[in-house]
Amino acid sequence: MATSRPPATFISDLRPSRMATLEATVSQLDAVREFETREGQKKRVRNGRLKDATGEIAFVLWGNEVELVGEGDRVRIVEGWVSDYRGRPQLSLGRTGKLEKLVAPEKTS
């Protein structure tokens, strides 16, 4: 049986040019944008913010990732990539990262 482990990293610990595994809540999602690459391909991108008890970080989803989450969703990002975007840390799935939507525990009455 799989057991839940605490996240390996908290948002306050994230630093650019490092991989990170964390659990957080999607606190904001911008509209999906489409743009054309230099090669003429159409790509989709969506920016947002993730929040945990220690802080918030910008994150970006690319391609098919843009439809994976909604505002308020609790997610686990495994081996995400932290980059420096305009002087601030930003999290993406990078080449090897995975995003898992977490199911909220049922409330007992």
pLDDT at 9: 86
What letter does residue 39 receive in the DSSP assignment?
Answer: T
Q: What's the pLDDT score for residue 30?
A: 97
pLDDT of 103 reads: 78
pLDDT at site 18:
94
Taking CA atoms, 93 is separated from 2, 21, 104, 105, in Å, by 23, 10, 22, 25
Q: Is residue 103 part of a domain?
A: no
Please identify which residue in the block is written with the tokens 């920016």.
Answer: 47
Residue 56 domain-assigned? yes
Within a domain: 88: yes
CATH code where residue 62 lies: 2.40.50.140
Contacts of 89 (CB under 8 A, 6+ apart): 14, 15, 16, 57, 58, 82, 83
The per-residue pLDDT for range 37-95, each reduced to its tens digit, is 899 999 999 999 999 999 999 999 999 999 999 999 999 999 999 999 999 999 999 99
- Which residues constitute the domain of residue 25? 11-98
Cβ(83)–Cβ(47) below 8 Å: no
70 occurs within a structural domain: yes
1 pLDDT higher than 50: no
CA neighbor of 63 nearest in space, from 86, 42, 38: 42
1 domain-assigned: no
* Total-model pTM: 0.83
Number of domains in the chain: 1
| Residue 71 falls inside a structural domain | yes
Q: What is the pLDDT of residue 24?
A: 96
Query: Is the pLDDT assigned to residue 3 strictly greater than 80?
Result: no
